[in-house]
Structure 1
Amino acid sequence: MPLRVTFVAAARSAPLLAERFEDDRPLDQAGWEEVQRVAGDLLPLAAAELRYCSPTPRSRATGDALGYAPLVQPALRDCDMGRWRGLTLGEAMAREPDAVDAWLADPRATPHGGESLLAFVSRVGGWLDTRPAEDGGRIVAVAEPAVVRAALVYALKAPPATYWNIDVRPLSVCTVTGRAGRWNLRLDGAPAQSPRS
């Protein structure tokens, strides 16, 4: 039986255009309200044998509010953005436009002094590949949208540039099934109460 890993994107901590690299702010009021709206649809995921989350405050709070009581997984942390930590993309672009362009164009680039996109995808994929899968089972992981995108790129064996073409909204859900090195994306029907953007 294949392993089933369901990722739930953390609720928001700021309006989407104000998202910051390695954002460690707690859920904002809109984030709490979104969690309350979808809690009934996402609560069944609490039956997973293993429940994890990214180490950010909003991921932990989202998991707790959904009744998952998740264990923090350092490997599910956001990409290390070095000196751009805490900046929006626009702020980084205003300060270092050539560096941002290089980072967006080359998955191996680390102009910010942190982690490359390729290393980030590999780290998240390594976590996915080391989940216990002897008898199948279900796992739920509440993670930052960037982490969910990285997991999908890895699971689909897609080129790293695909990362920029995946839009993960707060509280969206996606599932991969399989085992180390052999993952499939599973798309289920949308919840009755989808989160607002």
Structure 2
Amino acid sequence: MTIKNSTCFQHIWVSTDDKRIAIEAQKYGATVHRRPEKFARDDTPSLHAISEFLDVHRSIQDFALFQCTSVFLKTKYIQEAVRKFESHDCVFAAKRSHYLRWKVVDGELMPAEFNLSARPRRQDWQGDIVETGMFYFSRRKLVDSGLLQNSRCSIVEIAAKDSLEIDSSYDLTLAKYILSSETKSEL
């Protein structure tokens, strides 16, 4: 409903190989794209599923992919993405990470992207930009060249509390807790 409530799209498609999901999507007015099983596996890259969709629907030039695992999607994020997409080839959801990252190089632990002798305080540092996976707006021409993003991208910065992705049973438990605590605080 969030995507529909944004009033930003002429068509809303649900791409699935699952009959139950298709029936549910149609109840809410979405058009269903029957995705072949080989493009609906857990290890299928999003780019392959998008390419298959665009191959079938040749008239579509611009698209937005929303991941159903991002349950805290807000209309304000969608509307901001649409505005930015007018002047960019791609727009995606991202959050700020203020963790100081480390990497192992040739068996040795080294700081990633910060200097040990000028170690920043995390609260004074702008942080890294990290994709959330919530959504991707892109153009057919990028997908046709084998890409979802390029250097002409913009981001919509998602609040940390909205950036949770449901990728495990722990994430699902956490999302349920967040939703129940938000509901209690509204009462």
Q: Same fold, TM exceeding 0.5?
A: no
Larger relative CO (CA 8 A, sep 6+): 1 or 2?
Answer: 1
Query: Greater helix percent: which structure?
Result: 1
Q: TM-score, normalised by structure 1?
A: 0.31
By percentage of residues, which structure has more strand? 2
